[in-house]
Amino acid sequence: MKLKDLGEFGLIKRLAETISINDAQVVAGIGDDAAVIKVDGPKLTLFTTDSLIEDVHFTRPALSAYQIGWKALAVNLSDIAAMGGVPEHGLVSIGLPSQTSVDFVDSLYQGIKDLSDKFKVNIVGGDTVSSPQLIVNISLLGEVEEEYLALRSGAKAGDKVLVTGDLGGSAAHRLAGKHLSPQPRVEEGRAIVKRLWPTSMIDISDGLASDLGRICESSQVGAKIWLEKIPVSEKTRQMSEQLGEDFVRLALEGGEDYELLFTAQRVPELTSEMDVSLTVIGEITDQKGKLSLIDKERKSHPLKSKGYEHFEENRF
């Protein structure tokens, strides 16, 4: 069997069966946005890693060195945010072709530095190797109070499904050959866990449909999403139209929006204190594994849990 037959998620499942986590300190291992470890003291430690690989996650020069550095840290911060946590310390490993200019590396590090300063993350080490293509891997430690920890696994039938910001913008920009620098929702994640007591949370890295599917899988529930409620900005709608793309599809499957998707039992006044908008887009059901999209006429369509997947041959 080849990796393309197994798929990224099939492979991770298989690896998870090989690795046995056998430690009372591990609160959550493989299967969430970050691992959760109980070390000492009242808070839980969060631990996550993500890589950006040239020609897989970005091409040069479409993404500048600065943007590559920024994004490599942003995707990790987004995973800490999805747990309700505060990021703390990071390690940066880079693989570089030997012809790379020093200016390029300086700029890449400036991108990492500006974002790490913004969120007060200390870069405490890393690794440097030569590589045929550019690779940036970042690992991050963070922390979260036990009562604020948000896992993917707690959604219950009747919970509302909410999302921060708007969706599809990243895919529309990518298709138009432009790039956005993702803004990880760290502060928003903290505000959500403190005020809305989410029953589950994930960051949207692969697309709403796919990442909602992961919440449903972990929580053993289903979900229905109201198509009209999916927040898509006017700019994204216009860009999609110019590109001949369906903005709903970009919002559902485009990925890389790095917004937070979460479920909550009650949705009190949708906090005007937060800089970013929050939108109720659907509801959790007890129909395990079933995702539906409800259109304007209230017709229900099956929603495939589809998004970006590594090893797939026909990529989005």
Cα torsion through 282, 283, 286, 290, rounded to 10: 10
33 contributes a contact to Mg ion by CB under 5 A: yes
Partner in contact with 12, chosen from Mg ion, ligand ADP, none, beta carbon below 5 to 8 Å by kind: ligand ADP
Which residue's CB is nearer to ligand ADP, number 119 or number 258?
258
For residue 186, which of 107, 109, 275, 113 has the smallest C-alpha distance?
Answer: 275
Interface with Mg ion (CB under 5 A), residue from 32, 50, 79, 206: 79
Q: In 10 A of CB 21, how many CB atoms? A: 11
Q: Which residues pair with 74 in a beta bridge?
A: none
206 contributes a contact to Mg ion by CB under 5 A: no
Stretch that binds ligand ADP, among 31-39, 253-261, 271-279, 299-307 (CB under 6 A): 31-39
* CB contact at 8 A, 247 and 236: yes
21 contributes a contact to ligand ADP by CB under 6 A: no
Interface with ligand ADP (CB under 6 A), residue from 12, 53, 175, 276: 12
Which residue's CB is nearer to ligand ADP, number 247 or number 262?
262
Partner in contact with 31, chosen from Mg ion, ligand ADP, none, beta carbon below 5 to 8 Å by kind: ligand ADP
* CB contact at 8 A, 63 and 178: no
Report the distance separating Cα 252 and Cα 202, nearest Å. 15
For residue 86, which of 34, 8, 9, 26 has the smallest C-alpha distance?
Answer: 34
Total of chain residues touching ligand ADP, rule CB under 6 A: 9
31 contributes a contact to ligand ADP by CB under 6 A: yes
* CB contact at 8 A, 278 and 163: yes
203 contributes a contact to Mg ion by CB under 5 A: yes
Partner in contact with 7, chosen from ligand ADP, Mg ion, none, beta carbon below 5 to 8 Å by kind: none
Q: Which residues contact 22 (CB under 8 A, 6 or more apart)?
A: none
Partner in contact with 175, chosen from ligand ADP, Mg ion, none, beta carbon below 5 to 8 Å by kind: none
137 contributes a contact to ligand ADP by CB under 6 A: no
Query: Residues in the site for Mg ion, rule: CB under 5 A?
Result: 33, 79, 203, 205
